[in-house]
């Protein structure tokens, strides 16, 4: 996509004939032909700029769609982060509950251990009795020592009760041990599972936060690109406006050249009828002080503070004329004002097109405090067009003056040093 300012075509003026002693009919015809060619070129350039504007509009629309997609994705990530954070809080609370349960279980464990210890003492006592009395034999003695069948039954029930009690103690002992082991295993498993889930959620949260940061970066990049495209659009719109002004100036120059051609033909006819005599008529009514003879004059009074060429790491495509006083800025030659406007870089500036001896030139006057000549104005050499200033990208009051042998372009490929062509301080 083009980003350079389109060509500013130069207009040939009828006023030149009066100033410089008149052109031939052939010269006027050549000027008209050239101007029409330039007009066609400007129209083509306007068409290119409009095409570029459409492309920029499409790109801006695409960037906005991408931003909408990214914002939608960021919203989804926000929901996911919110959900993950909620679950992290839930799992953290559950872990605290489980830890409290473990503390409670540890207290219960101490009780169970005491019960087991007490039963162990009973079982040890039973074991000692078995060793001392012979265990089962002692029970038989109890049975055989009965005095009657009824006493035998009572003794048998008592022995069975004692044996059952011993077995109950052993069963409870095993049950308590198993219960303790199961509870400990369950709580450990629950705690490990919760800690694993918590770690997974925390990892997920970090991943989501990283994704959101990437989306933030992408969105910022897309917004910056859109801003750049809007700036590009403004640049293209400015180019289109300059080209439109240029086309109007060319149309005016064509009309003036056609009128001059008709006058030149009439003068030629009169000279032929009078036997070839001619008069000097049309002489300049007198130049204002400081206005040079010839095609060019000095555009401003001051000190040449910067010349044409390399300046540091940049190229200076013009010359700077500095002055502390507010001095008038003059048109360096006869011409037509192509564009008179405020630029963020040039400040108050004026572009003037000239046609001198069949060669087209463009002059630029920048950083003025004010402008006098407007778009399409026909100006004469030495005519005031503005006042020196310090507007736009300027450091100190001065006139930035450019001379282009041909059209003005963004890359300034036609810029030439005015030294030796235009009178300078």
Residue numbers of the domain that contains 356: 290-425
Query: Does any domain span residue 7?
Result: no
* Spacing of C-alpha 396 from chain mean position: 32
Q: Report the alpha-carbon distance of residue 266 to residue 247 in Å, rounded.
A: 29
- Burial of 352: CB neighbours in 10 Å, binned 0-12, 13-18, 19+: buried
The residues facing 322 across adjacent strands are 303, 398
- Please tell me what DSSP assigns to residue 410: T
Query: Does any domain span residue 4?
Result: no
Q: Report the alpha-carbon distance of residue 330 to residue 296 in Å, rounded.
A: 11
**Residue 232: partners with Cβ closer than 8 Å, 6 or more residues away:** 1, 3, 56
Same domain, 212 and 342: no
Q: Report the alpha-carbon distance of residue 199 to residue 206 in Å, rounded.
A: 11
Q: Report the alpha-carbon distance of residue 415 to residue 19 in Å, rounded.
A: 26
Dihedral (C-alpha) 181, 184, 189, 194: value to the nearest 10 degrees?
Answer: 170
Strand ranges, E, within 235-369:
303-306, 309-311, 314-316, 319-322, 328-330, 335-343, 347-356, 359-368
Same domain, 199 and 309: no
- Give the domain-ending residue among 280, 300, 325: 280
C-alpha distances in Å from residue 243, one per residue of 43, 121, 204, 355, 407: 8, 111, 57, 18, 11
- Please tell me what DSSP assigns to residue 288: P
Could you tell me the sign of the dihedral formed by the alpha carbons of 311, 314, 316, 322, in that order?
negative
Indicate the pairing of strand 303-306 with strand 335-343: unpaired
How many structural domains are present in the chain? 2
- Give the domain-ending residue among 280, 305, 320: 280
- Give the domain-ending residue among 262, 280, 298: 280
Q: What is the CATH number of the domain that holds 235?
A: 1.10.287.950
Query: Does any domain span residue 5?
Result: no
First to last CA, the chain: 41
Task: Answer for the pair 383, 330: CB distance below 8 angstroms, yes or no.
Answer: yes
Query: Does any domain span residue 2?
Result: no
Query: Does any domain span residue 11?
Result: no
Locate 349 and state its tokens. 């500036």
Same domain, 366 and 262: no
Same domain, 135 and 233: yes
Residue 149 backbone class (left: φ over 0; alpha: ψ -120 to 50; beta: rest): alpha
Q: Report the alpha-carbon distance of residue 250 to residue 256 in Å, rounded.
A: 10
Same domain, 323 and 240: no
Radius of gyration in angstroms for the set of CA atoms belonging to the chain, rounded to a whole number: 52
Query: Does any domain span residue 83?
Result: yes
Same domain, 303 and 173: no
Q: Report the alpha-carbon distance of residue 373 to residue 382 in Å, rounded.
A: 13
Query: Does any domain span residue 68?
Result: yes
Task: Show pLDDT as tens, one digit a residue, over the chain (425 residues).
Answer: 444 443 343 333 333 333 333 445 556 667 677 777 777 877 888 888 888 889 988 989 998 899 999 888 888 888 888 888 888 888 788 888 877 877 787 777 777 777 777 767 766 666 566 555 544 445 555 555 555 556 556 555 655 566 666 677 777 767 777 777 777 787 778 778 888 888 888 888 888 888 888 888 988 998 999 888 888 888 788 777 777 776 776 777 677 767 766 776 777 777 677 654 443 333 323 233 378 888 999 999 999 999 999 988 899 999 999 998 889 999 999 988 989 999 888 999 999 988 887 678 999 999 999 999 998 888 999 999 999 999 999 999 999 999 999 878 778 888 999 999 999 99
Among candidate residues 388, 384, 386, 383, the one with its CA nearest the CA of residue 324:
388
pTM of the model: 0.49
Q: Report the alpha-carbon distance of residue 89 to residue 137 in Å, rounded.
A: 66
Please provide the average confidence, as pLDDT, over all residues in the chain.
Answer: 77
Q: Report the alpha-carbon distance of residue 405 to residue 415 in Å, rounded.
A: 6
Locate 362 and state its tokens. 């463009």
Same domain, 146 and 75: yes
Same domain, 47 and 183: yes
Q: What is the CATH number of the domain that holds 361?
A: 2.70.70.10
Query: Does any domain span residue 338?
Result: yes
Same domain, 421 and 339: yes
Same domain, 315 and 221: no
Among candidate residues 338, 336, 308, the one with its CA nearest the CA of residue 320:
308
Same domain, 186 and 259: yes
- How does DSSP assign 189-222, residue by residue? HHHHHHHHHHHHHHHHHHHHHHHHHHHHHHHHHH
Same domain, 41 and 65: yes
């Amino acid at each position: 996509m083009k980003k350079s300012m389109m060509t500013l075509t130069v207009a040939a003026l009828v006023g030149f004939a009066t100033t410089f002693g008149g052109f031939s009919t052939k010269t006027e015809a050549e000027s008209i032909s050239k101007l029409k060619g330039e007009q066609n070129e400007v129209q083509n350039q306007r068409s290119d700029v409009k095409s570029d504007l459409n492309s920029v509009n499409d790109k801006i629309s695409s960037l906005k769609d991408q931003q909408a997609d990214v914002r939608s994705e960021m919203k989804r990530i926000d929901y996911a982060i919110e959900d993950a954070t909620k679950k992290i809080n839930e799992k953290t609370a559950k872990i605290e509950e489980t830890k409290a349960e473990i503390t409670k279980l540890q207290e219960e464990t101490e009780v169970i251990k005491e019960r087991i210890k007490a039963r162990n003492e009973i079982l040890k006592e039973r074991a000692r009795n078995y060793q001392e009395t012979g265990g089962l034999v002692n029970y038989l003695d109890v049975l055989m020592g009965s005095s009657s069948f009824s006493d035998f039954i009572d003794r048998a029930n008592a022995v069975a009760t004692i044996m059952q009690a011993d077995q109950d103690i052993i069963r409870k002992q095993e049950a308590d041990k198993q219960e303790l082991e199961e509870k400990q295993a369950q709580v450990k498993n629950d705690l490990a599972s919760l800690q694993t889930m918590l770690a997974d959620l925390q990892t997920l949260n970090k991943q989501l936060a990283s994704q959101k940061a990437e989306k933030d970066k992408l969105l910022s990049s897309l917004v910056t690109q859109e801003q750049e495209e809007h700036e590009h659009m403004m640049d293209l719109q400015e180019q289109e406006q300059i080209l439109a002004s240029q086309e109007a100036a060319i149309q005016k120059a064509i009309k003036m050249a056609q009128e001059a051609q008709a006058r030149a033909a009439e003068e030629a006819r009169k000279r032929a009828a009078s036997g070839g005599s001619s008069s000097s008529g049309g002489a300049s009514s007198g130049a204002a002080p400081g206005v040079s003879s010839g095609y060019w004059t000095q555009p401003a009074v001051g000190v040449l503070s910067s010349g044409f060429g390399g300046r540091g790491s940049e190229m200076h495509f013009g010359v700077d004329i500095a002055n502390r006083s507010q001095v008038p800025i003059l048109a360096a030659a006869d011409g037509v004002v192509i564009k008179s406007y405020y630029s963020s870089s040039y400040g108050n500036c004026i572009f003037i097109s000239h046609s001198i001896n069949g060669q087209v030139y463009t002059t630029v006057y920048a950083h003025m405090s004010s402008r006098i000549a407007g778009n399409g104005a026909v100006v004469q050499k030495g005519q005031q067009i503005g006042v020196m200033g310090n507007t736009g990208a300027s450091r100190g009051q001065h006139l930035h003056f450019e001379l282009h042998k041909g059209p003005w372009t963004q890359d300034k490929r036609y810029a030439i040093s005015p030294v030796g062509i235009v009178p300078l301080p």
